[in-house]
A and B are shown apart, each in its own frame.
Chain A
Amino acid sequence: RKEVEQDPGPFNVPEGATVAFNCTYSNSASQSFFWYRQDCRKEPKLLMSVYSSGNEDGRFTAQLNRASQYISLLIRDSKLSDSATYLCAVYHSGNTPLVFGKGTRLSVIA
Chain B
Amino acid sequence: SQTIHQWPATLVQPVGSPLSLECTVEGTSNPNLYWYRQAAGRGLQLLFYSVGIGQISSEVPQNLSASRPQDRQFILSSKKLLLSDSGFYLCAWSVKGDGYTFGSGTRLTVV
The interface of chain A, by Cβ under 8 A from chain B, is: 31-32, 34, 36, 41-46, 49, 87, 89, 91, 94-95, 97-98, 100-103
Do residues A100 and B99 form an inter-chain contact, with CB atoms below 8 A? Answer: no
20 interchain pairs, CB-CB under 8 A: A31-B97, A34-B99, A41-B107, A43-B90, A43-B102, A43-B103, A43-B105, A44-B90, A44-B102, A49-B99, A89-B100, A91-B97, A94-B97, A95-B96, A97-B34, A97-B46, A98-B94, A102-B42, A102-B43, A103-B43
Chain B residues whose C-beta falls within 8 Å of the C-beta of A31 in the assembled complex: 97
- With both beta carbons as reference points, the residue of chain B lying nearest to A102 in the complex is identified as B43
Q: Determine the distance from Cα of A12 to Cα of B90 in the docked complex, in whole angstroms.
A: 28
Contact of B44 among A42, A95, A100 (CB under 8 A): A100
B residues contacting the other copy or chain, number (CB 8 A): 21
